[in-house]
């Protein structure tokens, strides 16, 4: 992974978790070939283990195959919530939790 290719390492993305794609706003350009071109995805792998899905892939330079960053995305269901996480030097770090119920109990107003 290369910190010379990004504006900021692991930027905080709040609850925006990307299962695929690239956060190009954080991409400076390739530190190896000094070009700012498309970022490709390679070595994509998906594992499903004990109800948790793990997606990993590399962001690579289109011109010289330099590895810019390693992307990790997880998805799982815990109790009544879908849990998402993302960790990537280019795309950032993020977490999200969404209720599987029609009305999220955390969002409802107290009755009394």
Question: Has residue 9 got a pLDDT over 60?
Answer: yes
Q: CA 59 to CA 68: how far, in whole Å?
A: 5
Sequence spans of domains, the chain? 3-99
Q: What pTM did the predictor assign?
A: 0.85
CATH of 3-99 among 3.60.20.10, 2.60.40.4240, 1.10.510.10, 2.60.40.1180: 2.60.40.4240
Residue 111's pLDDT band (cuts 50, 70, 90): low
CA-wise closest residue to 30 among 22, 38, 19: 38
The confidence score (pLDDT) of residue 80 equals 84
Residue pLDDT, tens place only, 68-89: 999 999 999 888 889 999 999 9
Other CB atoms within 10 A of residue 110 CB:
4
Is 31:66 a contact under the CB 8 Å cutoff?
A: yes
β-bridge partners, 105: none
The confidence score (pLDDT) of residue 2 equals 81
């Amino acid at each position: 992974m290369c910190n010379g290719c990004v504006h900021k390492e692991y930027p905080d993305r709040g609850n925006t978790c990307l299962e695929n794609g690239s956060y190009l706003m954080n991409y400076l350009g390739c530190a190896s070939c000094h070009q700012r071109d498309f970022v490709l995805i390679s070595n994509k792998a998906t594992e499903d283990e004990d109800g948790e899905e793990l997606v990993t892939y590399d962001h690579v330079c289109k011109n010289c195959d330099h590895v810019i960053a390693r992307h990790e995305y997880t998805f799982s269901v815990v109790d009544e919530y879908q849990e998402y996480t993302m960790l990537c030097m280019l795309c950032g770090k993020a977490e999200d939790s969404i209720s599987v119920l029609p009305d999220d109990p955390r969002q409802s107003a107290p009755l009394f």
